[in-house]
Amino acid sequence: MEVAVIIPTKNEEKSLPPLLESLKKQDFRGFRIIVADAGSSDKTREIAKRSKCMVIRGGLPAIARDNGAKKAISSGAKILIFIDSDVILPKKDFIKKSIGEFRKRKLDVAGVEVAAYSDNPKDKEFKESRDPRFAIFYAIFNLILKSSQKGKNPFMQNYMMARSEVHKKVGGFGNLEFGEDSAYCKKAARMGFKFRVLETPGKILISPRRFKEKGFFRLVILYLYFNARIILGHEFVINKKNMYFEK
């Protein structure tokens, strides 16, 4: 298939099903789903296989994405879509509009705006959270994302698109534990490839789980610290003692 969706996972039996369900509802059918799993000990792999995903060996997100991309490209994919496992595509035409705009604008790499979804069990469907903390955080996030898109230091996470040829020339996501997505886009931009934030699909919805697990303000401070170090030139290379992701 011409389009491949690549999802890194590790113990995502709770967050993966909603994403796969939103992918199943897409009215764009010409894509394959590749789940790059980092040795899950729960039912993640079983869920993925039951949903007819191709399951391959993963690792930390950068490694998982590159493994997925390699498999997708060898299978003939021309467009790669990298999606985090804890997001939801809120509209059934999300991928269709993404692909359409990506091709129309002749882009090489692209992303979309982000919002947190409400995890209220009373909600019958996933929708944007009304929590003012998330509204403010992602408003700033999207402002940075959009204001940086035409420069040499674009910012990106959660949902990315890239042409296969561009992915190969960029050299993939590399050996980074944190910030690998933005590093990927920066490298592409500095090599002369065109990166933009898509307008027509709308916002992708992401789970607020990390904020709840680590504490909202603690996680915000952690992100600020990590990104400040990246701006100063530090690279969070994967090593034996990871700073963000647990082994």
Distance between CA atoms of 85 and 23, rounded to whole angstroms?
12
Model-wide pTM > 0.85 = yes
Distance between CA atoms of 20 and 10, rounded to whole angstroms?
15
pLDDT digits (tens, 9 = 90+) for 190-229: 999 999 999 999 999 999 988 988 899 998 898 888 878 8
Question: In the chain, what percentage of residues exceed pLDDT 70?
Answer: 94
CATH of 3-237, one of 2.70.98.60, 3.90.550.10, 3.40.50.2300, 3.40.50.1700: 3.90.550.10
Torsion, Cα 143 23 63 169, to 10 degrees, reads -70
Give the pairing type, strands 3-9 and 195-197.
Answer: unpaired
pLDDT digits (tens, 9 = 90+) for 116-163: 988 766 666 778 888 999 999 999 999 999 999 998 888 888 899 999
How much is the average pLDDT of 223-237? 80
**What mean pLDDT, rounded, does the chain reach?**
90
Distance between CA atoms of 3 and 51, rounded to whole angstroms?
17
Q: Exposure of 88 by Cβ count < 10 A (0-12 exposed, 13-18 middle, 19+ buried)?
A: buried
